[in-house]
Each structure stands twice: as C-alpha cells, then as structure tokens.
Amino acid sequence: MGITRPHVVLAGFCASALLATAAAAHHGWSWAEGELSELTGTIQEISFAPPHPSLVVDIDGEVWQVDLGNPNRTQRSGFVQGSAEAGDEVTILGNRSLDENENLIKAVRITIDGKNFDMYPERIEG
C-alpha cells in the first residue's frame, strides 16, 4: 500500500469542489433575475444536446443564449425536435442573467407561431 500525499488529496478535493460549485451555480435560478422579462427574436440554432435544450436567438442584432427546461420538462411542454426551425420568430418569457453583460435567459415559456410551450408553468403568473 502506497503513502498518500496530502497535497495530491487536497488538490483532488479542491478540483471536485470547484466543479460541483460551477455546476450548481448554472442550474437552478440563483444566477437569474427574479422578475420575468419578455424578448422576441429570430431563432438561429436549436440544440437538444445535454445538459439541456437551448436556442440561439438573434434579438435586435444581438445573439442570445436561451436555456430551456431540462430535457423532460422541455418534452412535456410539447417542444420537441421539429417544433421549430432556424428562421422562426420566437417570443421568450423568462428570467435574464443577473450579469447585464451576458445575453442569457432561462425560458419559462417560449411562443412560436402562436403556440405556447410552457417549460415552467408554475413560474408564470396569471
């Protein structure tokens, strides 16, 4: 049995803690504003790849990252592959990033061609 080097164990612990903190910071809502915002733009890209579906949307000449619900929530909302395509207009209701320099919004609802896809209906008032 080898001797464990304290600095190796400490480095491994720190790396694990850093990764866990980064993952936790992005998931949930703590990184986003409390109030809902509405934005409208044109879909440039749609991704259903892990960790969660997302859109890239042109809003007034700026590129925005639109995080949708986790894969199960997104599917339950009815938004699945084929529901939209690049070039479609989308209205996003959601919570913007607290960082005003970051074009990022967590969608609560997206609306495409008059159809609502509610990712988090419990967060929508009235």
Assess whether pLDDT exceeds 90 at residue 126.
Answer: no
48 φ, ψ to 5°? Answer: -110, 15
- Domain assignment present for 23: no
The CATH number given to whatever domain includes residue 109 is 2.40.50.1010
Residue 106, token pair as written in the block: 């967590």
- Domain assignment present for 32: no
pLDDT at residue 44, rounded to an integer:
98
> What percent of the chain lies above the pLDDT cut of 70?
77
| pTM, full prediction | 0.77
- Domain assignment present for 21: no
22 φ, ψ to 5°? Answer: -65, -40
- Domain assignment present for 8: no
Number of domains in the chain: 1
Q: What is the pLDDT of residues 40-86, one digit of tens each?
A: 999 999 999 988 899 999 999 999 999 999 999 999 999 999 999 99
* Residues of the domain holding 51: 37-123
Pairing of strands 89-96, 37-47: antiparallel
Q: Which residue has the tokens 């790396």?
A: 15
| b (16+ CB within 10 A) / e for 84-115 | beeeeebbbbbbbbeeeeebbbbbbbbbbeee
